Amino acid sequence: MISNKNLARIAGFCYLIVIATGLFSEVFVRQALTVSNDALATAHNIQANEMLFRWGFVADIINFVVGLPTIFIIYYLFKRTNKLLLQIAVAFVIIQTAIISVNLLNQISPLLILSNDTYLNTFQPDRLATLSLLSLNIQSQGYAIGLVFFGFYCLIVGYVIYESRLLPKILGILYAFTGLCYLVNSFTMFLSKGFENPLFIYLAIPIFIGELSLCLWLLIKGIDTSEMIKN
């Protein structure tokens, strides 16, 4: 039987995969290849880097597949602290995963639209490029919607970690702040004209610190099993 400390380390390792695949697909694929308001340039980037674009899609799938065991292990480890809150948190993250997973159809659509298949010859290349960029823009909004639910997950889990005494309280504070940053990030996008998000660069840093801190602590240190026995 796997000990709780080793379970925590497994969760940390899985979380590291989630962070790595998320960064790769968002920063090194979508943001790297998308040129804002320039459909032709974006289409050219995707066609010239098709395999990179496909790997970004695969990375997102791995992200969601590995992410689900991660949240259930966290639920198992901390459920003695507040089972009801964690059940609500798990519901939030399952909704988030479902939304973003379905939204991957918008992410893969440019490869279909720009595929040069015969049935697409009725469209001019510039129109196909426009449809491709539109799909990516829709994907971006769908992703932001999913992150609203993940933001609430982080807020709840951060609070539970703070109350649990199984991990340092600072990790709970950082993780809850991560959730708040996710919420501010998404709603700033929804409420801004043209869906611009000038706060993203400032919010990305605390988000990264909060998630990576919890991930590395679980991976390296695990949890305080003595406190778990007391509970």
pLDDT(1) > 80:
no
For 17-75, how does the pLDDT look when each residue is reduced to its tens digit (9 = 90+)?
Answer: 999 999 999 999 999 999 988 999 999 999 999 999 999 999 999 999 999 999 999 99
Torsion angle of the four alpha carbons 152, 158, 164, 168, in this order, in degrees rounded to the nearest 10: 170
Taking residues 84-106, report their average pLDDT.
95
DSSP track, 108-127: HHHHHHTS--GGGTTS-HHH
- Give the per-residue pLDDT at 194: 84
Q: Is the pLDDT of residue 229 over 80?
A: no
In tens, the pLDDT along 151-168 reads 999 999 999 999 998 999
Exposed/middle/buried for residue 230 (C-beta within 10 Å: 0-12, 13-18, 19+): exposed
Residue 175, pLDDT > 70, answer yes
Mean pLDDT, the chain, rounded, equals 92
Residue 147 pLDDT: 96
CA–CA distance, 72 with 68 (Å, rounded to integer): 6
49, 28 Cβ separation under 8 angstroms: no
- pLDDT-derived band at 231, boundaries 50, 70, 90: low
pLDDT band at residue 223 under the 50/70/90 scheme = confident
Does the pLDDT value for residue 226 go beyond 70? no
Domain boundaries, the chain: 4-230
Tens-place pLDDT, residues 12-21: 999 999 999 9
pLDDT of res. 227: 59
Query: What residue type is 167 in one-letter code?
Result: L
The sign of the dihedral angle between the CA atoms of 81, 84, 87, 91 is: negative
pLDDT tens by residue, 181-208:
999 999 999 999 888 888 888 999 999 9
Residue whose token pair is 């007391």: 230
CA nearest to 216, candidates 184, 175, 187: 175
Average pLDDT for 95-122: 90
**Non-local CB neighbours of 30 within 8 Å, separated by 6+ positions:** 56, 107, 136, 139, 140
